[in-house]
């Protein structure tokens, strides 16, 4: 077989070189097109993922609106904060030793439980409150503080029956036992879990990111909360003394949308009270979701009330009462636990 040789500069060699250049250009164009198409495809996938996430967010909002989160409950985003008060804070008590605490997300009612809401509980369950089973509740008759037989959740601050016009006031004369019974009833009724807040949750929600004595700043006026204006904080100008509760949505809410976190009615918390509890917590560093001592004689009350001095309404202030204690300044609000 003869071997064909191609001389340099021949027409056949030039044609071969032209073919090679054309093939290389075509292959390069193909891969460039493929790369562009692949990037376009990934852009489509990314856009689809964004649409999916937006849709899931909208679905979550729709579920909340449909009733997964009860009406008038606000999500409180958890975080770490300093609980208690600095030694320099006017009105500070020895049980307010500052320490770090961290709480998880929770939902809290905008308002304290009202007379109307508590009435629905009583009518549906036939529950007897501690005041009804015992010797009544503590009142102020205008002269003296005394325990009066026959006084219960139906009555106001001086022991007289409340009128329908006070249905939207916070319920009074309820014990810690009564508040827990209400939580159990509404949980069973709705299929959702409700409870009392811990003391840490209550202070965290009250502060709404503030570290001042009040979530309103360094002082609290009677245009901002309901307390005994004859005894303002730090000898500030005197205010109004209403000598009664006000409706639960009176005054501006705090920065997180919660009403009357200072004054109006002292609110029960789930914790047992311990006078040395904060000191113990301080030795442990940051305490996660503190729930109070394991046992005790009294439960924590928070927030101050309609007849308290200004200093007792501070964010860090703590009161306490036995589980069956009830008076004309004890009420409660709920936490929803999904």
Q: What is the residue range of 126's domain?
A: 73-337
Asked if residue 177 and residue 141 are part of one domain, the reply reads: yes
Q: Which band of pLDDT confidence, cut at 50, 70 and 90, is reported for residue 314?
A: very high
Asked if residue 155 and residue 64 are part of one domain, the reply reads: no
In a domain, 193, yes or no: yes
In a domain, 4, yes or no: no
Arithmetic mean of pLDDT, 20-49 = 58
Report the C-alpha gap between 310 and 224 in whole angstroms.
11
Q: Which band of pLDDT confidence, cut at 50, 70 and 90, is reported for residue 38?
A: low
Contact 185, 124 (CB under 8 A): yes
The answer, yes or no, to whether residue 315 has pLDDT greater than 60, is yes
Whole-number pLDDT of residue 32? 61
Q: Which band of pLDDT confidence, cut at 50, 70 and 90, is reported for residue 61?
A: very low
Q: Name residue, tokens 């139906």.
A: 154
In a domain, 55, yes or no: yes
Asked if residue 29 and residue 143 are part of one domain, the reply reads: no
Higher pLDDT, residue 48 or 189: 189
Q: How many domains, in total, are found in the chain? A: 2
Specify the range with the lowest mean pLDDT, choosing from 39-48, 107-116, 184-193. 39-48
Q: How far is CA 314 from CA 89, 269, 334, in A?
A: 10, 16, 20
Q: How far is CA 130 from CA 152, 181, 285, 309, in A?
A: 8, 11, 39, 27
The answer, yes or no, to whether residue 319 has pLDDT greater than 90, is yes
Asked if residue 165 and residue 242 are part of one domain, the reply reads: yes
Arithmetic mean of pLDDT, 97-115 = 98
Nearest alpha-carbon partner for 180 in 191, 194, 200, 168: 194
In a domain, 1, yes or no: no
Asked if residue 245 and residue 185 are part of one domain, the reply reads: yes
In a domain, 24, yes or no: yes
Contact 261, 254 (CB under 8 A): yes
Asked if residue 312 and residue 263 are part of one domain, the reply reads: yes
Whole-number pLDDT of residue 263? 98
Q: Which band of pLDDT confidence, cut at 50, 70 and 90, is reported for residue 235?
A: confident
Higher pLDDT, residue 111 or 59: 111
Arithmetic mean of pLDDT, 58-84 = 78
Residue where a domain terminates, one of 68, 88, 105: 68
Tokens of 73: 């409950």
Whole-number pLDDT of residue 11? 45
3-state SS track over the chain: CCCCCCCCCCHHHHHHHHHHHHHHHHHHHHHHHHHHHHHHHHHHHHHHHHHHHHHHHHHHHHHHHHHHCCCCEEEECCEEEEECCCCCCCCCCCCCCCEEEEECCEEEECCCCEHHHHHHHHHHHCCCCHHHHCCCEEEECCCCEEEECCCCCCECCCCCECCHHHCCCECCCCCHHHHHHHHHHHHHHHCCEEECCCHHHHHHHHHCCCCCCECCECCCCCCCCECCCCCCHHHCCCCCCCCCCCCCCCCCCCCCCCCCCCECCEEEEEEECCCCHHHHHHCCCCEECCCCCCCCCCEEEECCCCCCCHHHHCCCCEEEECCCCCECCEECCCEEEC
Asked if residue 133 and residue 218 are part of one domain, the reply reads: yes
Report the C-alpha gap between 254 and 156 in whole angstroms.
26
Whole-number pLDDT of residue 141? 84
CATH of residue 279: 3.90.1580.10
Arithmetic mean of pLDDT, 115-132 = 98
Specify the range with the lowest mean pLDDT, choosing from 26-35, 51-60, 148-157. 51-60
Specify the range with the lowest mean pLDDT, choosing from 106-120, 133-147, 155-169. 133-147
The answer, yes or no, to whether residue 10 has pLDDT greater than 60, is no
Q: Within 10 Å of residue 284's Cβ, how many Cβ atoms?
A: 11
pTM for the predicted model, two decimal places:
0.81
């Amino acid at each position: 077989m003869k071997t064909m040789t191609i001389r340099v500069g021949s027409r056949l060699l030039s044609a071969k070189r032209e073919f090679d250049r054309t093939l290389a250009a075509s292959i390069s164009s193909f891969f460039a097109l493929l790369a562009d198409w692949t990037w376009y495809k990934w852009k489509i996938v990314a856009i689809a993922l964004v649409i999916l996430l937006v849709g899931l967010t909208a679905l979550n909002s729709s579920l909340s609106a449909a009733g997964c989160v009860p009406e008038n409950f606000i999500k409180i985003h958890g975080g770490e904060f300093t609980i208690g008060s600095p030694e320099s804070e006017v009105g500070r008590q020895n049980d307010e030793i500052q320490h770090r605490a961290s709480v998880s997300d929770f939902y809290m009612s905008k308002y304290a439980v009202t007379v109307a809401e508590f009435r629905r509980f009583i009518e549906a369950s036939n529950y007897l409150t501690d005041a009804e089973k015992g010797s009544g509740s503590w009142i102020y008759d205008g002269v003296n503080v005394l325990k009066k037989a026959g006084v219960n959740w139906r009555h106001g601050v001086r022991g007289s029956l409340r009128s329908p016009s006070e249905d939207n006031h916070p319920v009074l004369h309820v014990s810690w036992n009564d508040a827990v019974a209400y939580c159990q009833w509404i949980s069973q009724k709705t299929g959702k879990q409700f409870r009392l807040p811990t003391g840490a949750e209550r202070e965290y929600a009250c502060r709404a990111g503030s570290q001042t004595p009040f979530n309103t700043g360094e002082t609290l006026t009677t245009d901002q909360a309901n307390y005994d204006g004859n005894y303002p904080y730090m000898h500030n100008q005197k205010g109004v003394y209403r000598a009664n509760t006000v409706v639960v949505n009176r005054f501006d809410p705090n920065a997180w949308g919660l009403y009357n976190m200072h004054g109006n009615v002292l609110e029960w918390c789930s914790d047992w009270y311990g006078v040395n509890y904060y000191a113990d917590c301080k030795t442990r560093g940051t305490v996660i979701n503190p729930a109070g001592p394991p046992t005790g004689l009294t439960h924590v009350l928070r927030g101050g009330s309609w007849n308290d001095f200004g200093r007792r309404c501070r964010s860090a202030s703590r009161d306490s009462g036995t589980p069956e204690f009830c008076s004309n300044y004890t009420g409660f609000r709920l936490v929803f636990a999904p």
